[in-house]
Amino acid sequence: MAETPAAAPEAAPKSPIKKGSLVKVNRQAYSASLEAQASDGAAPDYLFEGPAEVLLLKGDYAQLRFRRPVPDVWLRADQLQVY
């Protein structure tokens, strides 16, 4: 009996965001997120102006470092857009 070739699993769409990328936060995606609800009411403008460098990717989250004297932040990668 001949085996039929198994359908190859579809590859997940690759995100253009990777380690070292320059990004900024998408205001609409962030404002509707759990992270925004857990933070202060008004997010600082530098989040949305960018650029921030992606230091590390873990799962769905990215660690960002801004070119300002502020702490690094972790945000979901789907809230980011390429700068």
Going residue by residue through the chain (83 aa), what tens digit of pLDDT does each one get?
Answer: 556 555 555 555 566 889 999 999 999 999 888 888 887 778 889 999 989 999 999 999 999 999 999 999 999 999 999 99
What does the pLDDT read at residue 35? 81
- In order of 1, 8, 83, the CA distances from 48 in angstroms are 60, 39, 10
> In terms of Cα–Cα distance, which of 41, 35, 42 is closest to 80?
35
Task: Report the pLDDT value the prediction gives residue 14, as an integer from 0 to 100.
Answer: 63
- Any idea what DSSP says for residue 15? P
